[in-house]
Amino acid sequence: MNDSPIGVYDSGLGGLTVWRELRRLLPHESLLFLGDGKNCPYGARPREEICYLADEAVGRLVALGCKLIVVACNTATAAAIDFLRAKYASLPIVGMEPAVKPACLHTRSGVVGVLATERSLDGELFRRTAARYGRDVEIVTLPGRGFVELVESDLEDSPAAEACVRPLVEEMIGRGADQIVLGCTHYPFLRATIERIAAGHGVEIVDPSPAVARRVEQLLDQGALRAAPDAEPVLEFITFADEDYRLKLKRKAEAVDPLR
């Protein structure tokens, strides 16, 4: 048994969608969430800068005694996961897999839509996955410009969100997509808006967060790293931004916590 926390890192608030699934699946585990905040959004930043920011964040979580790290940021995963696993080789590190595989396997129309940041769509991980599973599938990729900013501003249920999201979702539907992959951890916060726009078109929304939580569970078991079954979890939030942002992380987490 190991009662040390699982570290969860994102550019901002988006990784709380993964944090939520970890809470649901692993209720006895302590979680230390680092939402950068100061440098969010990452989506259009150069790969080298993202790698530096990810290293700084993971280094902080390692220094604070985390037993496993979840890079709950698609952009940071695309830019830095190989570097992070090499530098922190003694520590299990879980990244965000592009959920292209399940979407391609389950499409009926043969068209899959992927909403993601520009850096994620340019990443080698996405290209490899798309090439492997999308041979007989048309993959429509569109960058969700402005999506992260909407979530960071708590505007995911606003008319502004509808106006930003609608053109992209309608384009994907118009091109025949019956699967829409949420390729950024901020985007599940916009899921209700996406589902409202896609209603009646037989579209399935694919969120990779539950699969990431299951992978964490596997690694905990493989490494004998689970917390004791009667452990009282400690939930902490840190940031590279200011105290107001840290409190914002905490409030958002409390709002989405499935155990509250």
The residues annotated as belonging to the active site are: 73, 184
Contacts of residue 241, Cβ cutoff 8 Å, sequence gap at least 6: 35, 36, 37, 38
Angle value at C-alpha 91, between 88 and 92, nearest 5 degrees: 120
Contacts of residue 82, Cβ cutoff 8 Å, sequence gap at least 6: none
DSSP states of 93-104 as a string? EE----THHHHH
Omega of the bond prior to 208 within 30 degrees of 0, cis? no
Contacts of residue 221, Cβ cutoff 8 Å, sequence gap at least 6: none
Instruction: Give the integer Cα–Cα distance in Å for 78 and 81.
Output: 6
Amino acid letter, residue 98 = P
